[in-house]
């Protein structure tokens, strides 16, 4: 199963770019694909802009994708649960079994449109705090890397 991360535009604040680059490099070696979608500029009617952003994002998703939308209203997820999802998906068992791609989506400055949340197979809260998109990216990248090292039996996650 292919693992893909979808982020809105370039990371902000720019000070987080080095951390993103480090995790992106580590995850690329593990076969993870990271790509960006074009976010809307925050000007004008917010709902219309959010819908336009969602339409572009939804066009890239396939029916056979297992989609996790990262949203503050989602369910908190533990590192162990993250690792179990990955283990099951790779082993063809569990809730993402039979899917070709596991897609993680992070919303832009306007958040995720309801249509994206409805399309998602799961809604995850990366934190109970609202955070800047760049911070959410780093949290997801580190969490994914940690979960993948658990699955691989790598000592990165000290238990």
Task: Say what the pTM is.
Answer: 0.93
What per-residue confidence (pLDDT) applies to 159? 61
Q: Is the pLDDT of residue 86 over 90?
A: yes
What per-residue confidence (pLDDT) applies to 157? 75
What per-residue confidence (pLDDT) applies to 126? 94
Mean pLDDT of all residues in the chain? 93
Structural domain boundaries enclosing 139: 2-152
User: Average pLDDT of 138-150?
Assistant: 97
- Name every residue whose Cβ is closer than 8 Å to that of residue 133 and which is 6 or more positions away in sequence: 7, 8, 11, 12, 106, 107, 108, 109
Residue 51: CATH number of its domain: 3.40.1280.10
The total of structural domains in the chain comes to: 1
What per-residue confidence (pLDDT) applies to 139? 97
Instruction: Supply 147's token pair.
Output: 């979960």
């Amino acid at each position: 199963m292919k693992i893909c991360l979808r982020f809105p535009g370039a990371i902000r604040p720019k000070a987080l770019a080095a951390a993103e680059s480090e995790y992106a490099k580590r995850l690329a070696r593990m076969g993870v694909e990271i790509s960006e979608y074009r976010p809307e500029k925050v000007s004008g009617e917010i709902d219309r802009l959010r819908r336009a952003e969602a339409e572009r994002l939804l066009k890239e998703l396939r029916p056979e994708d297992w989609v996790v939308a990262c949203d503050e209203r989602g369910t908190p997820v533990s590192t162990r649960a993250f690792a179990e999802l990955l283990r099951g998906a790779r082993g063809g068992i569990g809730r993402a079994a039979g899917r070709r791609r596991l897609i993680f989506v992070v919303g832009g400055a306007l958040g995720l449109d309801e249509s994206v949340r409805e399309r998602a197979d799961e809604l995850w809260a990366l934190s109970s705090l609202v955070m800047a998109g760049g911070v959410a990216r780093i949290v997801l990248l580190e969490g994914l890397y940690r979960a993948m090292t658990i699955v691989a039996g790598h000592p990165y996650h000290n238990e």
